[in-house]
Amino acid sequence: MKLIIDDANIDQIKTIYEYYPVDGVTTNPTILAKSKRAPYEVLREIRGFIGGQAELHVQVVARTAAGMMEDAHRIVKELGENTFVKVPSVPEGFKAMMALNREGIAVTATAIYTPMQAFLAAKCGAAYAAPYINRIDNMGYNGIQVAKNIHDIFRNNGLKTQVLAASFKNSQQLLELCEYGVGASTVSPDVIQVLVKNQAIDSAVEAFIHDFEGLTGSGKTMSDC
């Protein structure tokens, strides 16, 4: 499972890249709005930092298929290869997805709440389909189960599309999809940072250091004992 950062804050992205093995960045219009900066200025900065080989997912905003196509062309022109154009999984979006697929532009189908949205997006040629785990949970359904169903639908129908699960609020949600082997998950920096936040882990590491310093002296490590 790829692990992707769901944020546009460059400082947060730099911190996560420094400490965690991540595969790229996803954004959406709401995330960009939080930056209070010009969208392409922020996105070019992110692309410059993560490099041309990492995945960058950027969403169209237009309501019509024609407008989505124009948005997509500008997004790809500005941000280059390995940029995935996020398109909402609605009728105008499906029309745009099919046209983008014919042009060879990589699509991430987004705003997915139901397996049938994902199935149709996959048949349109989307590379990824993004179910919103926590938002589905908040509607009274089971977001993890929906993501698993979508993964199974793709595999059982010979569709190459991968699940890119989004909207996580805790590490248990991520763990379940990791165990299931979905293609990717995109997670906010604060949730990534709690994935290994565990007092038992910290205590174990501290005990090793304490015991070693008892042997060699305070502040001593394997490089200077």
Nearest residue (CB) to ligand G3P, 190 versus 211: 190
Could you tell me the smallest distance in angstroms from the CB atom of residue 26 to ligand G3P?
Answer: 6
Q: Does 128 bind ligand G3P (CB under 6 A)?
A: no
Stretch of 68-76, 93-101, 130-138, 217-225 contacting ligand G3P, by CB under 6 A: 130-138
- Give the separation between CA 174 and CA 133, rounded to whole angstroms: 9
Q: Does 6 bind ligand G3P (CB under 6 A)?
A: yes
- Give the separation between CA 139 and CA 120, rounded to whole angstroms: 22
Active site residue: 36, 86, 148, 169, which one?
86
Could you tell me the smallest distance in angstroms from the CB atom of residue 154 to ligand G3P?
Answer: 19
Nearest residue (CB) to ligand G3P, 99 versus 110: 110
Q: How many residues does the chain have?
A: 225
Site size toward ligand G3P, by CB under 6 A: 7
Site string for ligand G3P, 132-171 (x = CB under 6 A): x-xx------------------------------xx----
Q: Does 28 bind ligand G3P (CB under 6 A)?
A: yes
Nearest residue (CB) to ligand G3P, 175 versus 225: 175
The C-alpha torsion from 150 through 153 and 158 to 164, rounded to 10°, is 0
Stretch of 46-54, 70-78, 127-135, 205-213 contacting ligand G3P, by CB under 6 A: 127-135
Could you tell me the smallest distance in angstroms from the CB atom of residue 138 to ligand G3P?
Answer: 9
| Active-site residue flag, 86 | yes
Ranges of beta strands (E only) in the chain are 2-6, 24-26, 55-59, 83-88, 107-112, 128-131, 162-165, 184-187
- Give the separation between CA 159 and CA 64, rounded to whole angstroms: 26
Active site residues: 86
